[in-house]
Amino acid sequence: MTTFYRRLPRFNYLAPVSLNEALSLLARYKGKAKVIAGGTDIIPKLKRREIRAPEHVIDLKAIPGLDNIQYDVSGLSLGALVTIGAVETSAIIQEKFGVLAQAARSMASPQVRNRGTIAGNICNAVPSADSAPPLLTIGAKLKLVSQEGERVVGIEDFFTGPGQTALANDEILQEIQIPHPPPNSQGIYLKLTPRRAMDLAIVGVAVVIIPQDGICKDIRIALGAVAPTPIRARRAEVVLKGQKLDDNLIEKAARTAAGEARPIDDHRASAEYRRDMVEVLVRRAIKQAIGSRS
Amino acid sequence: MKEINLTVNNRPYRLSVLPWRTLLEVIRENLGLTGTKEGCGLGECGACTVLIDGRAVNSCLVLAAEAEGKEITTIEGLADGDKLHPLQQAFVDHGGLQCGFCTPGMILSAKALLDENPTPTEEEIKQGIAGNLCRCTGYAKIIESIKAAAENMGGK
Amino acid sequence: MSELSVIGERVPRVDAIEKVTGQAKYAADYSLPDMLWCKLLRSPHPHARILNIDTSKAERLPGVKGIVTGKDFGGWSWGWMPATRDEPPMAVDKVRYMAEAVAGLAAVDEDTAEEAVGLIKVEYEELPGVFEPEEAMKDGAPAIHDYVKNNISVEYHWNFGDVDKAFAESHLVREDRFRTARATHGYLEPPAILAYYDPTGYITVQASKQSPYFHYRHLAACFKVPLSRVRVIQPFIGGGFGGTKNDSLAGDFCAVLLSKITGRPVKYIESMEEELATSRRRHSVIVYSKMGVGKDGLLKAIQHRVVADGGGYTAIGPLSMYLNGFMTTLPYRLPHFKFDAYRVFTNNPIGAAMRGHGVTHTRFAAEIQMEMLAEELGIDPVEMRMRNAIDNPRPGETYETINKVTLKTCGLKQAIREAVADPVWRDRDKLPKKEGNISWGTGISGTSYSGGARQMGHQACAAIIRLCEDGTVNLITGATDCGQGSDTVLCMIAAEELGIKLDDVAIKRVDTAYTPVDPGSYGSRVTILAGQATQKAARQVKKQLVEAAAKNWQVKAEDVEIKLGEVYLKSDPSKKMPFGKLARIACYSGTGAVIMGTGYSSYGIEPLDLTNGIGNGGCSYSFTAHTARVGVDMETGKITTTDFTIASDCGRLLSPIQAEGQIEGGAIQGLGQALYEDFIMDRGRTLNPTFLDYKMPHALDVPDMKLIDIVTDDPFGPFGAKEASEGSIVSAPPAVVSAIHDATGIWFTELPVTPEKIIKALKERK
């Protein structure tokens, strides 16, 4: 806290026009380059000197074909440059992957949503990232590319710690791949915040459930802001999967989920409050998901 | 230095900018358009809001270099000579401003909202300006101004 | 007052067009071609001795033109009173709060300045720190200043009547502890300055100051330059709210000194994080409140013991503590009052003024405690207030409190009546109390704030009106519009008095080289005091013009009237001429004349009695009745505020759009302090110095607001006006907390009432 900065640190700016060019730059400047997509996370971090300034900032936005939202036989694919706003307003995402659209809508502000990308939100990997719990519940896979080749990583293996991911420093997240939603699945994202705008989640809960004749055919529950990374609440899922959906069981699942959370005390909230709210939000999300119609 | 070409308020510019300069800094310091304000510099207050290709963004979060080829609208680009844009006129008439520091950003967010949704509900107006902090007005007369502007601009 | 032509009209503010077009220039918008950029180095420790500062590496960085440290200010320090001059421009021998400035430098661009600051090496000897005022008062706590004992920065002991006897005679006595939040002004414009020290010994600055004349005195004293050679130019100001922008900052002093050293203009702009982490804040105050009432709920006595977190220096602390106490005898009749106040140094950022200064803490405590007593007695909270409220004095009469606060109008009872007649309160039992997880509640408060602040000899303010030969007019005054709209009100007063249209009055911002002294914007003084000065100046001009008309028409001066730009004979209105024509006649006839008027505020300047708390701290007092409706999610603690109804007695609203804006804005700032705003501190470090985590309300967080105007036409005025800018920031927090009690059954005594605190309290209740 000895100096407060108004200016960004010095760096070079590069705008490759193809993915290959971007990857070869990353390979060449390994560790000394950072990718910029929407800029809404990296610029504040650089300005506050939270991360060491890279020598090169590589802008992906001149690369064509990275901003597509594509829904076809293989499922949904979101390019690296798809903005949060585009996800929020996409008719197909609202219809088929409502849990993700709801999360997008809850994020930051209109201005940030117009620039920030879903890929960026994942790669920034704060534990409270709003897109993460939904993606965990809909089985997202991430296509990571480098000059060496490409690999697909399941989202549940992507987050390795607060602000840390499996992305190597010569890799780019090119695409988020999401399989077709199972028929009759309903998703809800609930975000607990002190105000009604601009807040990080104190607790974020995503639930995708397939109710069938009062039975929980399948359920996925994911939690944000209550562990070093966004997590699936798998023990809670087990409580409900294949079981009759009644209030007591839902409550038990919610309590179980709260037990799976590992929140910390910080200046935004205490661990105890966060844990208590996991139970409340999971219960509400499940009930809302059951109650909602497509 | 980086050479960039961009259009600001319908005027083309060719500028030489440092790579780490933000669009906000270049608008204010290279172009002398000081109507766009720096509040928090971190994208949390909206005072620096400009339109890029019609969409509201925090210009403090955009590198000047990223604005290559874009059309930027700042507050100075809204009035038509002496004739105020209906939003500007509404803010004047309804007291939608006090100290005026949030006003340029607020008006541009409102413009982006009305351009996309000419008949917003009150809730939609509040959502549209959710990224713009105001400390003076309590938002009441801002919302009233935007409603009045929407009516004047043809929406009901 | 139906004769008014301009006052009371719903007019846009006079600077609206400049602001909506982006033409209005604020301090950071000014540049000069050869200017340098100033940057400050700040302390990483909250309490430490400065052993050594090595600037050699920074000096060698190309582009660095000058570096200064605390020692370069020659041992000068400043403060609000002669006895409290404990604050140097920058820390000299030790730092007393985290991020206090220790060095400043100027470089050819801000990038270089920021890089250079990182090259300055400071050796510190860390000292133990203390961060809670009650800890800091104890024997053995680290001494922050050597000139006081037990870190007591300010201490008052007032005693009116006999509270012990009154408590003994009370039917019911309560003792409760309250605490207000660590809140700050939250303006969107970070402080900034462009300074130039002319080698002939003339200082010019463009700075975001809502009291330019305080700053000019500080600069004159610091740099030993005559006041006549200090020019503070006020740009448009992006919000002030009293506090930091009334004072002078390390960056201001450094910019001027560096300009002196380098011979070039120097610009300094704070980052918002810097502002939130280091600037003056509202004091966080602990109030030990003891209140005794009779069986009928009538107040018998209040005893307040107030402990305020003063932070590292005194600043305006003496006034803050005075304001915590002097108005506790309003807005209800109070026969006995004891006040013991302590402002305590801690190693936190400095506690200073903010809108609703002082009063907000103790009024919050007293309002809530009075409702607690009402609840115990089974008396309706509205009834409780109506029984105790001061009645509106009859014309010619004065109400005097036990500590000799006097007032001629008090619209509180009418405000309460009208606030509760409004559907939000009136129909509250018709609405469901519980909807799913939401528990609804309505609350009420009755409060007061003072206007026309007195500040001993620094009261003086004046206005000049200059008539241009074409009949338009310049209003030249040191009164400082920091966004609240005072320029508009003063122009309306000038137009009304002169009999011309508002559009024909032009005003610019303060420039101490040309405008007459005015202490600036604080204490809701501008409409009342600068308004009076403006009235007098306008009357002087009108008198000269009326005499010119009388001479020209060969009539008696008393027969001439001027209204809305027309000059006419009262006895024969068909005999008339446009004001512009009269102006030309007056200016050009004979040997020519320059028509000017001057006026100064001459409201009785009683000295402020800080030691005993006797007498008026203001000229008149506004009264507010405020109802609030909230919904509390009983599982998450999250609060939704749906309605505010605010009935304000501001005497008379001179410029309704501006006054409403102030009432609405103040209410939302109060809402912020009730529910969301708090600096979270960790041993002197501010953990949330950004707008992400210092949570001010957004548009989605605000209730529907309904304003009710209670007109009492105060004889003080001008035009019957009382203050309209601070009442609602005092009324909002107790109204909201009262509503939360209605919804949850729990009295919250610590602000802000966060969701987590609600859940914790609900859990403890089980």
| Phi and psi, residue B155, nearest 5° | -75, 165
Does B59 score more than 90 pLDDT?
yes
Helix-, strand-, coil-residue percentages of chain C, each rounded to 5: 30, 25, 40
- Chains B & C: contacts with CB separation below 8 Å: 175
Structure confidence at residue B156 (pLDDT):
52
Identify the helix (H) or strand (E) that includes residue C38.
strand C36-42
- 30-49 in chain C: CB under 8 A from chain B: 31
Task: Please give the mean pLDDT across all residues of chain C.
Answer: 96
What the block records as the tokens of A151 is 């690999």
Which residue carries 């106490």 as its tokens?
C325
Inspect the interface and report whether the beta carbons of B131 and A197 lie closer than 8 Å: yes
Which residues from B are below 8 Å from C521, CB to CB?
Answer: none
Do B71 and B5 touch, CB atoms closer than 8 A? no
Structure confidence at residue C605 (pLDDT):
64
A270 touches chain B (CB under 8 A): no
Find the angle CA(B43)-CA(A3)-CA(A129) to the nearest 5 degrees.
35
| Phi and psi, residue C204, nearest 5° | -125, 130
User: Closest to C692 (Cβ–Cβ): which among B41, B44, B95?
Assistant: B44
C667 touches chain B (CB under 8 A): yes
Percent of chain C at pLDDT > 90 equals 94
Which residue carries 């870190």 as its tokens?
C151
User: Closest to C700 (Cβ–Cβ): which among B97, B103, B126?
Assistant: B126
C675 to chain A: closest CA residue: A194
- 549-588 in chain C: CB under 8 A from chain A: none
Structure confidence at residue C459 (pLDDT):
74
Inspect the interface and report whether the beta carbons of C16 and B92 lie closer than 8 Å: yes
CA dist., res. C353 & res. C183, Å (int): 11
CA dist., res. C136 & res. A289, Å (int): 53
CA-based nearest distance A273→chain C, Å? 6
CA dist., res. C176 & res. C571, Å (int): 67
C636 touches chain A (CB under 8 A): yes
A277 touches chain C (CB under 8 A): yes
Strand ranges across the sheet with C285-293: C152-160, C336-345, C299-311, C285-293, C172-179
A110 touches chain B (CB under 8 A): yes
Interface test with B, best of A8, A34, A111, A114 (most B CBs within 10 A): A111
Chains that touch C (3 or more CB pairs under 8 A): A, B
Single-letter code of the amino acid located at C192: A
What the block records as the tokens of B116 is 């996309």
User: Closest to B101 (Cβ–Cβ): which among C239, C690, C699?
Assistant: C239
Do B73 and B53 touch, CB atoms closer than 8 A? no
Does C604 score more than 90 pLDDT?
no
How many CA atoms within 13 Å lie on the side-chain side of A95?
6
Inspect the interface and report whether the beta carbons of B39 and C190 lie closer than 8 Å: yes
Structure confidence at residue C203 (pLDDT):
98
B88 to chain C: closest CA residue: C20
A55 touches chain B (CB under 8 A): no
Identify the helix (H) or strand (E) that includes residue C232.
strand C230-233
Does C273 score more than 70 pLDDT?
yes
Give Cα separations from A33 to A27, A36, A181, C242, C348 (angstroms): 9, 10, 37, 45, 39
C43 touches chain A (CB under 8 A): yes
CA dist., res. C582 & res. C557, Å (int): 14
Interface test with B, best of C35, C188, C274, C726 (most B CBs within 10 A): C188
Write the pLDDT tens digit of every residue in C665-696.
999 999 999 999 999 999 999 999 999 999 99
CA dist., res. A109 & res. B106, Å (int): 13
A43 touches chain B (CB under 8 A): yes
What the block records as the tokens of A121 is 């939100």
Inspect the interface and report whether the beta carbons of C272 and B39 lie closer than 8 Å: yes
SS (H, E, C) chain A: CCCCCCCCCCCEEECCCCHHHHHHHHHHCCCCEEEECCCCCHHHHHHCCCCCCCCEEEECCCCCCCCCEEEECCEEEEECCCEHHHHHHCHHHHHHCHHHHHHHHHCCCHHHHHHCEHHHHHHHCCCCCCCHHHHHHCCCEEEEEECCEEEEEEHHHCEEECCEECCCCCCEEEEEEECCCCCCCEEEEEEECCCCCCCCCCEEEEEEEEEECCEEEEEEEEEECCCCCCEECHHHHHHHCCCECCHHHHHHHHHHHHHHCCCCCCCCCCHHHHHHHHHHHHHHHHHHHHHCCC
Which residues from B are below 8 Å from A112, CB to CB?
Answer: 43, 58, 61, 131
pLDDT band at C1 (very low <50, low <70, confident <90, very high): very low
Write the pLDDT tens digit of every residue in C531-541.
999 999 999 99
Cα-trace Rg, chain B: 15
Which residues from A are below 8 Å from B55, CB to CB?
Answer: 85, 114
Which residues from B are below 8 Å from C268, CB to CB?
Answer: none
B38 to chain C: closest CA residue: C189
Which residues from B are below 8 Å from A85, CB to CB?
Answer: 55
Inspect the interface and report whether the beta carbons of A13 and B49 lie closer than 8 Å: no
Please compute the mean of the pLDDT values over residues C711-728 and round it to a whole number.
95
Structure confidence at residue B155 (pLDDT):
63
CA dist., res. A73 & res. C586, Å (int): 88
Write the pLDDT tens digit of every residue in C655-667.
999 999 999 999 9
- 481-520 in chain C: CB under 8 A from chain B: 482-485
Inspect the interface and report whether the beta carbons of C700 and A200 lie closer than 8 Å: no
Does C603 score more than 80 pLDDT?
no
Q: What is the DSSP string of C568-596?
A: EESS-TTSEEEHHHHHHHHHHSTT----E
* Residue ranges, chain A, pLDDT below 70: 1, 292-294
Interface test with A, best of B1, B20, B50, B127 (most A CBs within 10 A): B20
CA dist., res. C548 & res. C569, Å (int): 13
Does C457 score more than 70 pLDDT?
no
| Phi and psi, residue A249, nearest 5° | -70, -40
Identify the helix (H) or strand (E) that includes residue B128.
helix B122-128
Structure confidence at residue A294 (pLDDT):
38
Structure confidence at residue C2 (pLDDT):
58
User: Closest to C41 (Cβ–Cβ): which among A2, A194, A267?
Assistant: A2
Chain B interface residues facing chain A, Cβ-Cβ under 8 Å?
Answer: 2, 18-22, 25, 38, 41-44, 46, 49, 52, 55-58, 60-63, 65-66, 68, 109, 112-113, 127-128, 130-132
Inspect the interface and report whether the beta carbons of A15 and B65 lie closer than 8 Å: yes
C117 touches chain A (CB under 8 A): yes
Inspect the interface and report whether the beta carbons of C110 and A7 lie closer than 8 Å: yes
C114 to chain A: closest CA residue: A5
Write the pLDDT tens digit of every residue in C315-344.
999 999 999 999 999 999 999 999 999 999
Structure confidence at residue A161 (pLDDT):
97
CA dist., res. A198 & res. C694, Å (int): 11
Which residues from A are below 8 Å from C42, CB to CB?
Answer: 1-4
CA-based nearest distance B33→chain A, Å? 18
* 3-state SS, residue C340: strand
C694 to chain B: closest CA residue: B44
Does C456 score more than 70 pLDDT?
no
Single-letter code of the amino acid located at A289: A
CA dist., res. C481 & res. C461, Å (int): 14
Interface test with B, best of A13, A117, A193 (most B CBs within 10 A): A13
Query: What is the predicted ipTM?
Result: 0.98
Q: What is the DSSP string of B27-46?
A: IIIIS--TTS--SSSSSSS-
By CB atoms closer than 10 A (0-12, 13-18, 19+), residue C318 is buried
User: Closest to C756 (Cβ–Cβ): which among A197, A270, A281?
Assistant: A270
Residues forming beta bridges with residue A72, ordered by sequence position: A75
What the block records as the tokens of C698 is 């957004």
Strand A215-224 to A231-232 pairing: antiparallel
pLDDT band at C644 (very low <50, low <70, confident <90, very high): very high
Write the pLDDT tens digit of every residue in C208-217.
999 999 999 9
Please compute the mean of the pLDDT values over residues B79-88 and round it to a whole number.
96
Beta-carbon contacts of C139 under 8 Å, excluding residues fewer than 6 positions away, are C150
Which residues from A are below 8 Å from B130, CB to CB?
Answer: 109-110, 196-198
Please compute the mean of the pLDDT values over residues C117-141 and round it to a whole number.
98
C142 touches chain B (CB under 8 A): no
Beta-carbon contacts of C82 under 8 Å, excluding residues fewer than 6 positions away, are none
Inspect the interface and report whether the beta carbons of C699 and B84 lie closer than 8 Å: no
